[in-house]
């Protein structure tokens, strides 16, 4: 069985103007890992945490308790832009090891990125549930290709938001026309990141890598606020090709036309650019 861990970065709030302090991007991502690899994956993730943040290991009686000391992707992202060379080297060193971990265990990435258009209204609940349905659609294709079953574990928000998101999948699984996700065994369940290495790793992927890459690619020159930072170009140039390889993409044929789906997808009303721009 495969587990898809899901987390988000950015917010679903409206961007009133190009100079507003609201985050100009929202994204939801899933990382897919086989359950047989989860124990070794988690132990190696803890080892990376101990290597780069040794104070965590000293502050807990048990080594395993270091899972509860989260390394937030947003903090790593900030450190990649610091004037201190040591802080930048530390942040990029951690991200280098993090991506090696994903590559070693053949983790696959699915992501939906929304670029906000200044002044345009946003349906807050719809943008999250739509992104979650997109992740489940691509996960279903992955599971079907592998002839395996799977489960979605998302980072918990609040009860109302969790229920609405799970219900959007429920309606797709139990609709009269047939189950859209037959290889996904249940509705998404919601966990607290404190004890899920998969959720913590998805947060790092979302906030420390994908968010700054998306902001640099799609917002630079159009949005002028504190979330658009030229140093984000370093993250893109360092990791874009590795992320391209980690995507789960598949070909679909419709009416004789064949095209790619899945992986990292982008909705960009500003310039109508597709996800391919992330990798250029």
Q: pLDDT tens-digit profile of 74-118?
A: 999 999 999 999 999 999 999 999 999 999 999 999 999 999 999
pLDDT band at 57 (very low <50, low <70, confident <90, very high): low
β-bridge partners, 152 = 4
In whole angstroms, give the CA distance from residue 18 to residue 36. Answer: 46
Q: pLDDT tens-digit profile of 204-249?
A: 999 999 999 999 999 998 999 999 999 999 999 999 999 999 999 9
Quick one: average pLDDT of 18-43? 96
CATH number for the domain harbouring residue 233: 3.30.420.10
β-bridge partners, 109 = 31, 247
- What angle, 0 to 180 degrees and rounded to 10, lies between the N-to-C axes of helices 232-246 and 85-104? 10
pLDDT band at 58 (very low <50, low <70, confident <90, very high): low
The number of C-alpha atoms within 13 Å of 27 and in the hemisphere containing its C-beta is 33
pLDDT band at 70 (very low <50, low <70, confident <90, very high): confident
Quick one: average pLDDT of 257-266? 92
CB atoms inside a 10 Å sphere around CB 142: 21
Quick one: average pLDDT of 273-280? 93
Q: Which domain holds residue 45?
A: 2-279
pLDDT band at 10 (very low <50, low <70, confident <90, very high): very high
**pLDDT exceeds 80 at position 61:** no
Q: What is the mean pLDDT of the chain?
A: 93
Query: What confidence score (pLDDT) does residue 55 get?
Result: 81
Quick one: average pLDDT of 172-187? 94
Query: What confidence score (pLDDT) does residue 203 get?
Result: 97
| CA angle at 17 for the pair 266 and 207, rounded to the nearest 5° | 45
In the chain, the number of structural domains is 1
CB atoms inside a 10 Å sphere around CB 8: 22
Query: What confidence score (pLDDT) does residue 217 get?
Result: 97
Query: What confidence score (pLDDT) does residue 121 get?
Result: 84
- Of 200, 202, 171, 213, give the one whose Cα is nearest residue 188: 171
pLDDT band at 125 (very low <50, low <70, confident <90, very high): confident
């Amino acid at each position: 069985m495969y587990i898809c861990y899901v987390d988000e970065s950015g917010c679903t709030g409206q961007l009133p103007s190009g100079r507003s302090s609201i985050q100009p991007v929202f994204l939801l991502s899933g990382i897919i890992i086989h359950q047989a690899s989860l124990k070794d994956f988690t132990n190696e993730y803890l080892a990376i945490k101990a290597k780069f943040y040794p104070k965590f290991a000293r502050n807990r009686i048990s080594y395993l308790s270091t899972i509860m000391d989260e390394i937030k992707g947003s903090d790593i992202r900030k450190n990649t832009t610091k004037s201190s060379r040591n802080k930048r080297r530390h942040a990029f060193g951690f991200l280098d090891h993090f991506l090696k971990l994903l590559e070693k265990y053949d983790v696959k990435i699915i992501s939906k990125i929304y670029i906000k258009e200044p002044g345009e209204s946003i349906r807050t609940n719809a943008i999250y549930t739509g992104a979650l349905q997109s992740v489940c659609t691509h996960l279903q294709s992955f599971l079907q290709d592998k002839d395996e079953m799977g489960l979605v574990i998302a980072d918990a928000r609040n009860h109302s938001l969790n229920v609405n998101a799970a219900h959007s999948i429920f309606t797709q699984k139990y609709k009269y026309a047939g189950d859209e996700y037959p290889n996904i065994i249940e509705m998404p369940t919601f966990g607290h990141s404190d004890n899920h290495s998969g959720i913590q790793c998805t947060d790092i992927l979302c906030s420390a890598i994908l968010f700054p890459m998306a902001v640099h690619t799609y917002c630079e020159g159009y949005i002028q606020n504190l979330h658009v930072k030229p140093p984000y170009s370093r993250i893109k140039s360092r990791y874009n090709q590795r992320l391209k390889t980690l995507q789960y993409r598949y070909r679909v044929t419709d009416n004789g036309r064949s095209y790619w789906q899945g992986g990292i997808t982008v909705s960009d009303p500003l310039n109508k650019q597709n996800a391919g721009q992330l990798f250029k």
